[in-house]
Amino acid sequence: MRYACLIYFDPQKVFNRTPEGEAVLRDTERFDAELRASGHFVAGHALQLPNAAMTVRVRNGKMSATDGPFMETREMLAGLIVVEARDLNDAIRIAAGIPYATIGSIEVRPLVDYSQPRPIL
Amino acid sequence: MLATLIRLLGGFEAAEEALHEAFAAAVEQWPRDGVPANPFAWLVSTGRFKLIDRWRRQARFTQALPALAALADAAPEPTMTEHIEDDELRLIFTCCHPLIAPDARIALTLREVGGLTTEEIARAYRVPAPTIAQRIVRAKAKIRDDALSYEVPERAELPARIESVLQVIYLIFNEGYAVTAGPRLIRDDLCAEAIRLGRLVVDLLDDPEAQGLLALMLLHEARRSSRVDEAGDLILLENQNRSLWDQARIVEAQGLIERALASHRVGPYLLQAAIASLHALAPNVVDTDWPQIVSLYDTLLRVDPSPVVALNRAVAIAMRDGPEMGLRSIEAVIEQGGLDDYHLAYSARAEMERRLGHVEAAAASYKRALELVRQPAERRFLQTRLAQVAIASAPHSGTKVEIA
């Protein structure tokens, strides 16, 4: 099964030039290479900071685009990695190896399997 | 294979990664170089060395290097097949460790020994996958933090530890056996897996309770196909087609029971198996050896004094001595308490009242049972029964209903 590992962190902790932040950034390169070599890697992207982002909405046929979101919360979505794993616990195990897990948090979400019925809410 | 790697690498996580690496390597190499003479040994040693190799490359494991080097050099090549089953038994004992929470033991055993995925376990138990994932994560943390030993326990510790293993196996079996909603295939898998685990323990440990549990599961399984009809409705024991019962399983169970009884150590699983075997061997309900069943329940009640056992004993008394004595025994058990949430207590009482023609009391008891029942097939059965006694008790009902 495929799972998205959504990486959240506080950019102040990662890009503040402290030894902890530098170590995480360095480990990330090695981790990416290992994840590709192990066959778990499906796709992955890092995101620029939210101050480079625009938020788009369409209401009643009218489009609006605003700056941001601005950093209101300390932890922000910073990237995502899609992995192929045996099951949820296997995906959790892989996510625990992502260096950002030591400084931020990783949300592990199964990808939608379209052969399964839609959720009823 | 996972079990062997856990022993060699000293942890679940490492072993899972090693297994993944080994299969990845096999996919690449076997088509090119041919399948090795001993694929099992090849996978185990490949997985182990790939992982140790990677640990060596990783700077953050520098401090662990001396230990890893020792691990890599000391462990002999795992080629002996007899080690494999020993490893699996070690794994069961670790997964069923009494210090792990009971529901986590079940999830961990199904995943690590049974090879089910977290999502499959969640579907079988009808809970969200994160609930099962959390149990497994906590159980593994417990094993790691408390350094729970990965081995078959010493003789002094063995009885308590086996009890926990057998309980986990029986809970897995019961979950699969219970007639509830849910994906049929996975539930059948649970029964098959429980029997496989039971067999493994019996083959590796000479323990009468393990033999009793395996016999008990085989006897339930032997009669399973005759328990429900095509619509999924329950068929009472007296109406079951006994020619459908799986004689090979019944014979195997019989052998296990005899072997276990020879040890002169009787426990609850063995006694329940002995009772089930009397049912399995009887030509019909009337000619079942009810006096023997009552006396087995007497013994069972001494080793396992639970209200449910007392209730089953009361039902056996009803079969031996008739509904009047049965009703008296069942009421005595209910009065002792502990069965307030147990629908079978009230459906058993209703059954006695129905047979004695106490239709209004029977209707009240069926209603009480219906408030408590959760399984759809059992609910339908109780509703049918309630409708029958309701017609019989209606003051102006046009037809007189024969109460059997």
Q: Do B111 and A27 touch (CB under 8 A)?
A: no
In the DSSP assignment, the letter for residue B228 is: B
Give me the torsion for CA of B252, B256, B262, B264, rounded to 10°.
Answer: -150
In a domain, A117, yes or no: no
CA-CA distance, B305 to B324, in Å (whole number)?
24
State residue B354's pLDDT score: 94
At residue A45, φ and ψ (nearest 5 deg) are: -145, 145
Q: A34 lies in a domain?
A: yes
What pLDDT is recorded for position B318? 95
Q: Provide CB contacts within 8 A for B124, sequence distance 6+.
A: B110, B116, B175, B176, B182, B183, B186, B187, B189, B190
Taking phi over 0 as left and psi of -120 to 50 as alpha, with beta for the rest, A42 belongs to alpha
Q: Which helix (H) or strand (E) is B85 found in, with range?
A: helix B81-95
With an 8 Å Cβ cutoff, is B129 touching chain A?
Answer: yes
The 3-state DSSP composition of chain A as helix, strand, coil percent (nearest 5) reads: 35, 35, 35
- Residue B150: which pLDDT band, with cuts at 50, 70 and 90? confident
Interchain proximity B118–A39, CB inside 8 Å: no
pLDDT score recorded for residue B398: 46
The answer to whether the beta carbons of residues B51 and B17 sit under 8 Å apart is yes
Question: Quick one: DSSP state of residue A24?
Answer: H
Calpha distance A95→A90 (Å, rounded): 9
Would you call B13 and A93 a contact, using CB atoms and an 8 Å cutoff? Answer: yes
Asked if residue A47 has pLDDT above 90, the reply is: yes
Instruction: Say which range, A6-15, B67-76, B367-376, has the weakest mean pLDDT.
Output: B67-76
Q: For B135, which residue in chain A has the nearest alpha carbon?
A: A89
- Residue A44 pLDDT exceeds 70: yes
Residues of chain B neighbouring A87 (CB-CB closer than 8 A): 111, 117-120
- What's at B158, amino acid-wise? L
Between B176 and B309, whose confidence is greater?
B309
Contacts with B20 from chain A: Cβ below 8 Å = 38-40, 86
* Average pLDDT taken over every residue of chain A: 92
Residue B378 has what DSSP assignment? H
* Residue B41: half-sphere exposure toward Cβ, Cα within 13 Å: 11
> What number is the average pLDDT over the span A17-38?
93
CATH number at residue A69: 3.30.70.1060
Question: Looking at residue A73, what is its pLDDT?
Answer: 65
Give pLDDT, residue B137: 95
Question: Do B21 and A90 make contact, defined as CB atoms within 8 angstroms?
Answer: no
Instruction: Return the pLDDT at A71.
Output: 61
User: Would residue B154 be called left, alpha or beta, if left means φ above 0 and alpha means ψ between -120 and 50 degrees?
Assistant: beta
Alpha-carbon A4 to chain mean position: 7
pLDDT at B118 over 90: yes
- Asked if the structure places residue A120 within a domain, the reply is no
By the CB < 8 Å criterion, does A90 face chain B?
A: yes
Six-digit token string for B201: 């323990």
Is residue A43 in a domain?
Answer: yes
Contact yes or no for B21 and A38 at CB 8 A = yes
Give the domain extent around A28.
7-110
pLDDT at B114: 84
Residues in chain A: 121
**pLDDT value of position B1:** 75
Instruction: Write the Ramachandran bin of A116: left for phi over 0, alpha for psi from -120 to 50, otherwise beta.
Output: beta
What pLDDT is attached to residue B19?
A: 78
Asked if A39 and B133 come within 8 Å (Cβ–Cβ), the reply is no
pLDDT for the residue B161: 86
| Interface residue of A2, A24, A89, A108 to substitute, partner B, most B CBs within 10 Å | A89
Give how far A14 is from chain B: nearest CA, Å. 19
Q: Which two tokens stand for residue B34?
A: 């041919």
Average pLDDT rounded to a whole number, residues B288-311? 94
More confident residue, B186 or B374: B374
Q: Is the pTM of this model over 0.80?
A: no
A116 is a domain residue = no
In this prediction, residues B199-206 reach a mean pLDDT of 88
Look at residue B61 and tell me whether its pLDDT is greater than 70. Answer: no
Whole-angstrom distance, CA of residue B38 vs CA of residue B178: 40
A1 CB neighbours in chain B (<8 A) are 117, 119
Rounded CA gap, B47 and B19, in Å? Answer: 5
For residues B259 and B211, is the Cβ–Cβ distance under 8 A?
yes
* A36 assigned to some structural domain: yes
CA B82, B88, B90: angle at the middle one, nearest 5? 105
Specify burial of residue B35 (Cβ count, 10 A radius: 0-12, 13-18, 19+): exposed
* Full DSSP string of B342-354: -HHHHHHHHHHHH
The answer to whether residue B184 scores a pLDDT higher than 70 is no
Nearest CA in chain A to B141: A93
Cβ contact (<8 Å) for A40 and B16? Answer: no
What percent of chain B shows pLDDT beyond 90?
44
User: A40 and chain B: CB distance < 8 Å anywhere?
Assistant: yes
Report residue B283: phi and psi, to 5°: -70, -30
Residue to substitute from B6, B20, B56, B121, interface A, most A β-carbons within 10 A: B20
| A43-47, B8-12, B301-305, B382-386: least confident range | B8-12
More confident residue, B301 or B113: B301
Interface contact flag, B54 A34, Cβ < 8 Å: yes
Choose the mutation target among B21, B112, B119 for the interface with A, i.e. most A CBs under 10 Å. B119
The overall average pLDDT reported for chain B is: 84
| CA A82/CA A119 separation, integer angstroms | 22
pLDDT, one tens digit per residue, over A84-118 is 999 999 999 999 999 999 999 999 999 998 888 88
Question: Which range, of B42-56, B154-168, B269-283, averages the lowest pLDDT?
Answer: B42-56
pLDDT mean over A27-50: 93
Question: Would you give the DSSP letter of residue A46?
Answer: E
Cα separation, B369 vs B346, whole angstroms: 5
pLDDT of B116 > 90? The answer is no
Across the interface, whether the CB atoms of B117 and A92 are under 8 A apart is answered no
**Are B118 and A40 in contact (CB < 8 Å)?**
no
Asked if the C-beta of B117 comes within 8 angstroms of chain A's C-beta atoms, the answer is yes
> From residue B196, how far is each of B190, B252, B382 by CA, in Å?
10, 14, 34
Region B60-84: what's the mean pLDDT? Answer: 51
Residue-wise pLDDT tens digits, B311-362: 999 999 999 999 999 999 999 999 998 888 889 999 999 999 999 999 999 9
Q: Check: CB of residue B278 under 8 Å from CB of residue B289.
A: yes
**Is residue B28 scored above 50 in pLDDT?**
yes
Closest Cα of chain A to B65: distance in Å? 19
Position B396 scores a pLDDT of 53
Quick check: A1 contacting B, CB < 8 Å? yes
Rounded Cα gap, residues B362 and B368, in angstroms:
10
pLDDT given at position B70? 55
Assess A33–B contact: CB distance below 8 Å, yes or no.
Answer: no
- Total domains, chain A: 1
On whether any CB of chain B is under 8 Å from the CB of A84, the answer is: no
Q: Is the pLDDT of residue B140 over 50?
A: yes
Residue ranges in A1-121 assigned as alpha helix (H): 11-14, 19-38, 88-96
